[in-house]
Chain A
Amino acid sequence: MLKKAIFTIILILGLTALASAHRVNIFCFVEGKKISCEANYPSGDKVKHGTINLKEAETQKTLASKKTDLEGKASFEITQDILARKKDLEAEVLAGMGHRNTWTIPYSDLNAESSEISSKENTGSNTSLPWESNTSTPASATSVDKQELEMLISKIMDKKLHPVLEKLTLLQERKISLPDILAGLGYILGLMGISFYFLAKKNEK
């Protein structure tokens, strides 16, 4: 009977997936004109249909809100309004049942994007006046080419760097390790010893 009971308990524990759960993670990175966010549980399960709020870190004012897809991902456009604020952003994931976590996106990350937009504006003004470019000096023509080239390179870089950025961001996840578990058990043992010590002292008196 006892063997049966132990066997059943082991079977039940075995049936439920053993994983390092129960906190929710969010990771965000800036690529091109958007902020890509991904939310998961430490076990690797994705947060499906969870809410991600993009907030101003200081004031906690929500600027945008989106639901995650089946892969736990959501992306936000970096609008002029966001850039004009010149503030760090905070992405907040709400996975339901009281699960929440945040990820800070510094303004410096968004800043690179703003310079790209301004350079685009410059290019735009140049190309809108084709007769001017015809009459312009060779020096300005090369500067236009340079800007176009820069934009092109940054676009290609964004595309190429996406998986690298994604992986680097996900690498920052702090997983639960065996030392964590053993430390917890050790603390419990230690606390047991301390309580015995104080009880013994109390009994002595």
Chain B
Amino acid sequence: MHISEGILSFPVLLSGWVYTGGGLFWTLKKLSANDIPKMALLAAVFFVASLIHVPLGPSSVHLLLNGLIGVLLGSLALPTLFISLFLQAILFQFGGITVLGINTLLMSLPAILAGVLFKLKPSSLWGGILSGFAVLGSGVIAALVLSFSGEAFLQVAKLILIAHLPIAIIETIIGYFTLLFIFKTKPELILNNLGSKS
């Protein structure tokens, strides 16, 4: 779900960068040394996950894992996803530099929301469900952004949601098992995060 360059209008691109820039400044200010290896690991996971894709209709969809990253990192998902998306843009030509702001927002907003909701009920099943819903959330934001630049919102939203439904289901399962694994082996990875600020 990377929006390519040349589709969005300038005001949309600019506001994407402004919000992403503000978010980066705010989240990086409270960065602690303990978060960095976790962020780097998950950035690498997100970077590589986009290579696993499923062809669907005229388009093709790939694993996002943004929900899981949000559940594990909270608001630090924003800088993590920003770095991965930046590397994907320069190395794989997914998306692009001008749309990086918007692409970061559409991936990280549902991720951060998933992180906040996960704190209410930290269980692997709930985390899995949130991981799936974050994918759909990104789809809705993508449709909204595209609608600002001319495409009919409902039509695009329907198309994106249908296309990402299989991915959402797969990510729910992946999220569930990953969290189950972490809860059994290294629960402090999640619990530490729950104790800190969002």
Residues of B within 8 A of A45 (CB): 55, 60
B11 within 8 A of A: no
Residues of B within 8 A of A50 (CB): 58
Chain A interface: which size bin? 35 or more
Q: Is A21 a contact of B53 with CB atoms below 8 Å? A: yes
Residues of A within 8 A of B55 (CB): 17, 41, 43, 45
Instruction: Indicate whether A187 sits within 8 Å of B58 (C-beta atoms), given known contacts A9-B177, A16-B52.
Output: no
B57 within 8 A of A: yes
B57 → chain A closest CB, angstroms: 7
Interface SS majority for chain A: mixed
Residues of A within 8 A of B39 (CB): 192
Residues of A within 8 A of B47 (CB): 181, 184-185, 188
A130 within 8 A of B: no
User: Which of chain B's residues has its CB closest to A48's CB?
Assistant: B58
Query: Binary interface profile of A, 158-201, with partner B (CB < 8 Å = 1, else 0)?
Result: 00000000000000001010001101110111011001100110
Residues of B within 8 A of A20 (CB): 51, 92
In the complex, how many residue pairs between chain A and chain B have their CB atoms under 8 Å apart?
A: 144
Inter-chain CA distance A180–B1, complex, in Å, is: 20
Q: Is B91 a contact of A183 with CB atoms below 8 Å? A: yes
Q: Is B33 a contact of A199 with CB atoms below 8 Å? A: yes
Given contacts A17-B53, A97-B159, A180-B91, 16 further A-B contacts (CB under 8 A): A1-B184, A5-B177, A21-B50, A21-B62, A22-B60, A92-B6, A95-B59, A96-B59, A96-B159, A99-B59, A184-B47, A184-B48, A188-B47, A189-B40, A195-B31, A196-B33
